[in-house]
Amino acid sequence: MAEGELRAVDGLSYYLRKGESLAIVGESACGKSVSAMSVMRLIPYPPGIIVGGEIIFKGQNLLKISEEEMRHIRGGQIAMIFQEPSTSLNPVLTISRQLGESLELHRGLDKSAATAEALNLLKLVGIPDAEKRLNDYPHQFSGGMQQRVMIAMALSCNPALLIADEPTTSIDVTVQAQLLELIDKLRSQFGTAIIIITHNLGIVARYVDRVVVMYAGQLMETGPTDVIYAEPRHPYTIGLLASVPRLDLPRSRKLSVIEGLPPNLIRLAKDRCAFLPRCKYAIGRCNEEKPVLEKAGEEHYFACFVDVRKQSESEGLTSGKR
């Protein structure tokens, strides 16, 4: 950029097992979607570029393979559900053609077999009258039905990894629950590992095994969902959990907020904690060096110099177990 280098994702590291679900959470512009696009190698250049690191998938570094090899992995072994289905589906092609294209490319099916499989996929994701809807166009589907088509498309080649980037954005709450139950059911059925990118901590609590908390493109805390919700260790994680409305607290109690504004990533200091300007637990050391991940428990890590457990418990900021 003309103003300087912006690190949308900086040193983020996590892992995912077969059949496991992982959530990446954090406020807008913290780097969640960019991290997912990096896994798919879909960062547009210019202006974006991956300058370092590794993306290991089934023992293979995706940053070292050719674009031709990546095309076979993308969609075939790693699939993605994007935020807005209406902008991801081609408006001038039928649903049958859009589903069939992936089946022909990655699974080698002929047109007739691809059409039959597309029909099975629409039935799998619960689209009524699938036979009649197969040759409809995207604009003839509701937002929820379009997202079901996207899920069917993502699952068409039985990928080992499914990335769902805000899969319930702009969808009715009732339909949200249906789609999330569907994704979770298909995960159990096919053993697909899932990464869910979301702002919704309720989704995380119900459907996710482990959590990655991001801020300013960096990893703040990660661990099993139950542990993160019951014993958060980073001030940012505590702030996120405290900002969620709770039914077990008096209605007169005001919602907690994280004071301040998200940082300007171009002007982000590299030798101090990124969360420092908004952190009420900050000490002098936070302004002198950048914290590294420390182990708090089994698979539980956080990047902070301060033990905030006692303060957060006394203020009632932890959310308790699911």
Residue ending a domain, choose from 208, 239, 263: 208
Domain hosting 26: range is: 21-208
Whether 54 has a pLDDT exceeding 90, the answer reads yes
Question: Which one of 115-119, 173-177, 315-319 scores highest in mean pLDDT?
Answer: 115-119
* CATH number of the domain residue 78 falls in: 3.40.50.300
193 and 123: one domain?
yes
Q: What's residue 319's pLDDT? A: 45
Q: What is the mean pLDDT of the chain?
A: 88
Q: What's residue 215's pLDDT? A: 96
249 and 203: one domain?
no
Q: Which of 92-96, 105-109, 226-230, 249-253 shows the lowest per-residue confidence on average (mean pLDDT)?
A: 249-253
* 320 within domain boundaries: no
Residue ending a domain, choose from 177, 208, 239: 208
Tell me the pLDDT tens digit for each residue of 268-289: 888 899 999 999 999 999 999 9
Q: What whole-number distance in Å separates Cα of residue 220 and Cα of residue 230?
A: 16
Residue ending a domain, choose from 152, 174, 208: 208
257 and 174: one domain?
no
* Structural domain count of the chain: 2
Q: What whole-number distance in Å separates Cα of residue 69 and Cα of residue 295?
A: 37
pTM of the entire predicted model: 0.88
Whether 136 has a pLDDT exceeding 50, the answer reads yes
